[in-house]
Amino acid sequence: MDDPVLSRRVALDILVACLDKGQPLDDALARHQGFANLDPRDRAFVRLLLATTLRRLGEIEEVMGFLVERPLEGANAAGRQVLRLGAAQLLFLGTPPHAAVDTSVRLVVDAGLPHLKGLANAVLRRISRDGPALLGDRDPARLNTPQWLWESWTESYGEEATRAIAAAHLIEAPLDLTPRSNAQFWAGQLEGDLLPTGSIRREGGGNITELPGFAEGAWWVQDAAATLPVRLLGEISGKHVADLCAAPGGKTLQLAAAGADVTAVDISARRMTRVGENLARAGLSAKLVTADAGKWVTDETFDAILLDAPCSGTGTLRRHPDIAWLKDEQDVGRLTLTQDRLLVRAAELLKPGGTLVYAVCSLQDDEGPARLEALLGRDKRLRRVPVEPAELPGIVGAITPKGDVRTLPSMWPERRGMDGFFIGRLQKG
């Protein structure tokens, strides 16, 4: 007989690892052996429950603030996460009240907090009865966006655009796939929509390894916006191209499929192993180097370089809602130092006349245009190459006044959005 508490117990462990211990959600999922041992239906439920809890955490906290007088901290911290999971089920997932309440009460006991049974029961029963009224006409976009992000986006994009970005983050992202070739054929096979940029978009969920074309590497998972940096390199067939900070490898596969002679560099051996596996599955090849790209010692120079630098990831909150609660302004400040170091090294590795594309999946200006301007001020051999509208088919409003690219999660609302990227293109004289 199925134990309805088991999947929720796994979700609790992972939420504690994420919010109380600072682990990224994807890492916490990968490390939890119990999650891997769940059947596919329960794994899907755990993912949905965690994503919803994190995506709607601001609203959940607003409701909890009315019902829990004393903060659940220290030894009682796990109880706070139990209540958050229970509230997410009741407020947003439509879980039957008896199931959400009873399993939550069992969870606090299992967590060694039997003294919280009464509190969990009372709070969640109140939410099950009065949840919509407690939420009232509050502002979901504002409540679910941390203050520092809201302020920085408002400064960069204005109030209206910030509200649209925040609203887009509340919608579960669809599944985007990049076909190796024969895009129209695979869109039909996968029952997906062929986007103007060449990606195939379909509903998320399910086991992607069971989809047509997975085994033969006919496509790979990659947000539509993440495909744009490679497109902006232009014709690369036969060219020697470096993909710096290459993992998880979608852009490496794009480059190889376009006929480039690719050298992919990343600091993580584990992630590079995954890149190699995906290349092999797709029947593509690239030279793989495990190294810190900013310190990589090589005699090679390159016709083109793609640098998708480590960043805060604030443009990917649709897919990674934990980032909103795990990152802060100090993280952005530290990352800009890394981005500057990588850009300087990329410029050194680029041949005269070569093209450098810099990309970050961040909405923070400090990680995007500010880094490009710093490099241009530092290295007078480089010049900006503005992007033309024809290079971004179907995407309106993404080209900045200086000719860089800024995609926002609120773009393509009729297609359920895209990740937020900054992309700049330079040429070396």
Report the catalytic residues.
361
- 403's tokens: 């000719």
Residue 226 assigned to a binding site = no
Q: Which residues lie below 8 Å from residue 210, measured CB to CB, with a gap of 6+?
A: none
| Residue (of 348, 377, 346, 349) closest to 359 by Cα position | 346
Contact at 8 Å (CB) between 98 and 58?
no
Contact at 8 Å (CB) between 372 and 336?
no
Q: Which residues lie below 8 Å from residue 335, measured CB to CB, with a gap of 6+?
A: 310, 311, 312, 367
The number of residues making up the chain comes to 429
* DSSP assignments along 371-408, one per residue: HHHHHHHH-TTEEE-PPPGGGSTT--S-B-TTS-EEE-
**Cα(313)–Cα(240) distance, integer angstroms:** 28
Residue 34 assigned to a binding site = no
| Residue (of 271, 248, 274, 249) closest to 262 by Cα position | 249
Q: Which residues lie below 8 Å from residue 332, measured CB to CB, with a gap of 6+?
A: 312, 362, 364, 366, 367
Residue 229 assigned to a binding site = no
Residue 292 assigned to a binding site = yes
Residue 249 assigned to a binding site = yes
The helices-and-strands tally (H runs, E runs) of the chain is 18, 12
Q: What is the 3-state secondary structure (H, E, C) of 346-368?
A: HHHHEEEEEEEEEEECCCCHHHC
Residue 243 assigned to a binding site = no
Q: Crossing angle for the helix pair 40-55 and 77-88, nearest 10 degrees?
A: 100
Residue 212 assigned to a binding site = no
- Which residue is listed with tokens 């090589």? 298
Residue 308 assigned to a binding site = yes
- 121's tokens: 């029961």
Alpha-carbon separation of residue 293 from 44, 297, 426 (angstroms): 36, 9, 19
Torsion over CA of 18, 22, 26 and 32, rounded to 10 degrees? -60
- 336's tokens: 């800009």
Annotated binding residues, as ranges? 245-251, 266, 292, 308
Annotated binding residues for S-adenosyl-L-methionine, as ranges? 245-251, 266, 292, 308
